[in-house]
Amino acid sequence: MNPKISSDMARAEEILSALHDDASDKVLKNAAEQALAISPYCLGAWQILSELADTDEDAITLLKKGADHGRELHAELIASVDPEDGIWGHIEARDFMCLLHDLAIFYDATDELEQAVEIYEEMLRLNPGDNQGVRGDLLHDYIVLNQTADARAMLKRLDNIVETDTSLAYGTALLEIMVAMEDFEDAWMDEIERQQPSDTAGFKKFFGKNFPVVDKAMKSAIKANPYVGLIMTMPGIMEMEQPELYSMGGPDEALLYAHKHAPTWLAAFLPFVMVSTYALQANDNGSDPSPEHLEELEAISDFTTDPDFTPWWEDVVE
């Protein structure tokens, strides 16, 4: 790295390092602007300004500028690194990777999914081990964009971990449902009306008979995390603060997944019916939750079933 660039970055980062945890927005903004005046390669400053931006669009503009400077700053590293290892192991590049993640999240939040996909794909090229956990988000964006070939190609590469990764397992099930819906068009609804299953067991039997590939994928998803469909039926999940820590396969992980992806399951109706059906049936037939999971589930249920909450699905349907 050019010595002057390195020196300027160090000076700029010192300004950010001196900030207190309780610094006001005004202090944070002033410090970030001072840091960038010294070095536009101080990527943490771009992130601070994006967090303080008035609109999502302003935040995206700031993060794009930061990402461009990050690519320039780490150009030699990106060009020379082993593609199987990526750059995550290089501590100096992590601010850049975190900034890319923030940018992808903002693109998702503003329904600019094509741009989000580009950033997620870039992130996985630079960090193939996916230490930041973006594969599931990319898979769901592929599904919404009807990029089935890309989704299947990614799942094939990740075949050894799909069944143990909640986001990938449920994404796989959603993909199979959407493909089946496209293949059968309206025939599935006609068949439901003809057979008229009356309870969750009847619906599950119907889906297993008529959608065997989907049935297999849903069973794998339930095995990865049996709580997702149940939590999706709770009206206030979008109002609940997301946990910072969670156990794999537990209710808190299911809440995180539902918070991100429940609207996608509801958008075509049948997927939501199916995930709810399988979850309720699994709950009826499965073993009792562990004490830890039961405590998490009760906390989520107590909060999200508050009658004052407008059910999250009403906003999606509108």
* Assigned token pair, 164: 């143990």
- For the packed helices 251-267 and 166-184, what is the interaxial angle rounded to 10 degrees? 20
Q: Residue 281: its pLDDT value, please?
A: 64
How far from 111 is each of 17, 145, 158, 164, 177, CA to CA, in Å? 34, 11, 26, 28, 22
* Assigned token pair, 153: 């190609």
Q: Residue 31: its pLDDT value, please?
A: 96
State the DSSP code for 268: T
Where do we find the tokens 């589930």?
297
Q: Residue 231: its pLDDT value, please?
A: 92
Residue (of 162, 225, 212, 140) closest to 183 by Cα position: 212
Q: Residue 163: its pLDDT value, please?
A: 86
Beta-carbon count within 10 A of 126 CB: 20
224-236 burial, b at 16+ Cβ within 10 Å, e below that, comes to: bbbbbbbbbbbbb
Contacts of 30 (CB under 8 A, 6+ apart): none
d(CA 45, CA 42): 6
The domains of the chain, with CATH numbers, are 1-132 (1.25.40), 134-318 (no CATH)
For 18-31, the pLDDT digits (tens) are: 999 999 999 999 99
Q: Are 119 and 100 in contact (CB under 8 A)?
A: yes
Q: Residue 139: its pLDDT value, please?
A: 97
Q: Residue 84: its pLDDT value, please?
A: 84
Q: Residue 141: its pLDDT value, please?
A: 97
Residues of the chain with pLDDT under 70: 1, 185-186, 188, 198-200, 269-270, 280-287, 317-318
* Assigned token pair, 291: 């004490």
d(CA 237, CA 242): 9
* Assigned token pair, 113: 């999914």
Q: Are 202 and 209 in contact (CB under 8 A)?
A: no
Q: Residue 243: its pLDDT value, please?
A: 86
* Assigned token pair, 166: 């909640």
d(CA 274, CA 15): 53
Beta-carbon count within 10 A of 182 CB: 10
- The upper half-sphere exposure of residue 34, i.e. CA atoms within 13 Å in the direction of its Cβ, equals 16
For 107-124, the pLDDT digits (tens) are: 999 999 999 999 999 999
Q: Residue 105: its pLDDT value, please?
A: 96
Q: Residue 190: its pLDDT value, please?
A: 75
Q: Residue 308: its pLDDT value, please?
A: 85
